[in-house]
Amino acid sequence: MTFPAAPSATLARRLGFWSAIAVVVGVAIGSGIFRTPASIAARVPDPWAMLAVWVAGGVISLCGALSVAELSAAMPQTGGWYVYLRDAWGRLPAFLFGWAQLILLRGTVMGGIAAVFGEYFLRSIGVDSVAHPLAARLVSAGAILLTAAINIRGVALGAAVVGATTLAKCGGLALMVLAAALLGGSNGGTTDHFTAGGGPIDLSLMGLALISVLWAYDGFADVTLAAGEVTNPERNLPRAIVLGTVAITTVYLAANAAYLYVSPIEAVARSPLIAADTMTRLVGRIGASFISVVVMLSTFGALMASMLATPRVFFAMANDGLFFTRVAVVHPRYGTPHVAIGIAAALGTAFVLTQTFEQLADTFVLSSWPFYTLGIAGLYRLRYTRPDLPRPYRVLGYPVTPAVFIVAGVGLLANALWAEPLWTGVTFGIVLAGIPIYLAAFRNPR
């Protein structure tokens, strides 16, 4: 089975290496490191076990990054995972990925990031988001619409905002870690917090905690969705994906160590706004205000990066005849897929107005990882079926490295089915509901 090397409508290559790495870090470091530690600590009430889950997530993500780097260099086309699924397994799996993007994935990821932006925005102006949930959701929806407008205006402008906010968020997190190291000892911080466990460890709950961790790491390969706009993609994509994932893992481990040094794990579990609470203990209200601004910049930057990358899936599907042709239209002045961006913005707004952060995060991971696992498995298939495909980069540690990612993905989904069968089954059912739609409307190529 062969497919066109490039879509019929194309986007200009304007994203360089630093813009690509900013998208990798910008998407991944968004809301997760500020919001998920509480739910992870509640499920894994032991400091070292909690850190081990974060390490496991980093190792799994790095194996995925090393693997997808080969795919991205060999097929640097707009659509990323969609392209790998299509070329390795055919149109139906590719359509189901796009269907999941439309119904679940894009709305949940942007809704989840925007939800944290709204909470910290209200925190920064002295308003309790718990007492005013509607206000938080309206602020979140406004952020989604603003990022959509900026990205429609031009990919270069969107990339510039992503780059600036990525530097700001990494700098802010570095200052928080430094403050914990220098001031934590005089404000209740102690290494004793790493030796005092809060309770026994349940392996199934540890598996669910890994879902939350992988939500935080997700985005290491999102730059591939905009691969058709990256300059020198055979070189820049693998470097950006791998180096970005290493940077993300380092930042996450340092931030969690700072949280646990300043507060015992029981306090972390009770603190959905752990970054703000940590800075409050260290330097008072001014610290909380500072980190709230950092989180706002972080989540806004992640929204920008997500809005830059993810609408390209709809664009690629439309070019292949697996979605409405109108979605592949490129703006005549700005050169951006404005219709696809509008769809992504509408989905994110709808989700953030109707679901909680925890629901959004778990739904996203459960509906995306079957496709991530299948996409990485496609690496083996493509090596067999298309041995002559140019591969400027070959995955380090093949065939073990992709196998680690695949085994982790299968185990993660199996554990979710065991621990939360109803919610997991509903999520999978929604994804599989795309099969009759494909058979009825998109089975035959255009």
Residue written as token pair 């942007």:
110
For the chain, percent of residues with pLDDT exceeding 90? 22
pLDDT in tens, 237-272: 899 999 999 999 999 999 999 999 988 888 888 887
For the chain, percent of residues with pLDDT exceeding 70? 91
Q: How far is CA 247 from the centre of its chain?
A: 15
Which position has the higher pLDDT, 173 or 120? 173
Rounded Cα distance between 230 and 80, Å, is 12
**Rg value, the chain, Cα:** 21
pLDDT band at 377 (very low <50, low <70, confident <90, very high): very high
pLDDT in tens, 21-32: 888 888 788 777
pLDDT reported for residue 287:
82
Q: Report which of 24, 26, 29 is spatially closest to residue 253, judged by C-alpha positions.
A: 29
Does pLDDT of 7 surpass 50? no
Q: How far is CA 273 from the centre of its chain?
A: 19
Residue written as token pair 């619409």:
145
Q: How far is CA 439 from the centre of its chain?
A: 30
Rounded Cα distance between 105 and 102, Å, is 7
Beta carbons of 283 and 202 less than 8 angstroms apart = no
Does pLDDT of 162 surpass 90? no
Rounded Cα distance between 121 and 135, Å, is 10
pLDDT band at 360 (very low <50, low <70, confident <90, very high): low
Verdict on whether the full-model pTM lies above 0.85: no
pLDDT in tens, 97-146: 888 877 766 666 777 778 778 887 887 777 777 677 788 888 888 888 89
pLDDT in tens, 384-430: 999 999 999 999 999 999 999 999 989 888 887 887 788 788 888 88
Structural domains in the chain, CATH included, are: 17-389+410-442 (1.20.1740.10)
Segment among 50-64, 190-204, 312-326 with least mean pLDDT = 190-204
Q: Report which of 219, 218, 208 is spatially closest to residue 423, judged by C-alpha positions.
A: 208
pLDDT band at 446 (very low <50, low <70, confident <90, very high): low
pLDDT band at 2 (very low <50, low <70, confident <90, very high): very low
pLDDT reported for residue 380:
95
pLDDT reported for residue 4:
41
Query: Distance between the two ends of the chain, CA-based, in angstroms?
Result: 15
Does pLDDT of 198 surpass 80? no
Q: Report which of 72, 22, 5, 69 is spatially closest to residue 316, judged by C-alpha positions.
A: 5
399 cis-preceded (ω within 30 degrees of 0) = yes
pLDDT band at 39 (very low <50, low <70, confident <90, very high): confident
pLDDT in tens, 318-349: 888 888 788 878 888 878 888 888 888 887 78
CA angle 182, 188, 193 (to 5 degrees): 95
Amino acid at 129: S
Does pLDDT of 189 surpass 90? no
Long-range pairs for 169-175: beta carbons < 8 A, 24 or more residues apart: 169/26, 169/29, 169/294, 169/297, 169/298, 169/301, 170/25, 170/29, 170/247, 170/251, 172/290, 172/291, 172/293, 172/294, 172/297, 172/298, 173/29, 173/33, 173/251, 173/254, 173/255, 173/294, 174/254, 175/290
Beta carbons of 64 and 224 less than 8 angstroms apart = no
Cβ-Cβ contacts under 8 Å for 59 (sequence gap 6 or more): 404
Cβ-Cβ contacts under 8 Å for 238 (sequence gap 6 or more): 69, 70, 72, 73, 392, 393
Region of 146 on the Ramachandran plot (φ > 0 left; ψ -120 to 50 alpha; else beta): alpha
The DSSP element (H or E) to which 70 belongs, if any, is: helix 47-74
Spell out the SS3 assignment of 203-241.
HHHHHHHHHHHHHHHCCCCHHHHHHHHECCHHHHHHHHH
pLDDT reported for residue 196:
63
Mean of the per-residue pLDDT values of the chain: 83
* Length, in residues, of the chain: 446
Segment among 58-62, 188-192, 207-211, 303-307 with least mean pLDDT = 188-192
Beta carbons of 64 and 222 less than 8 angstroms apart = no
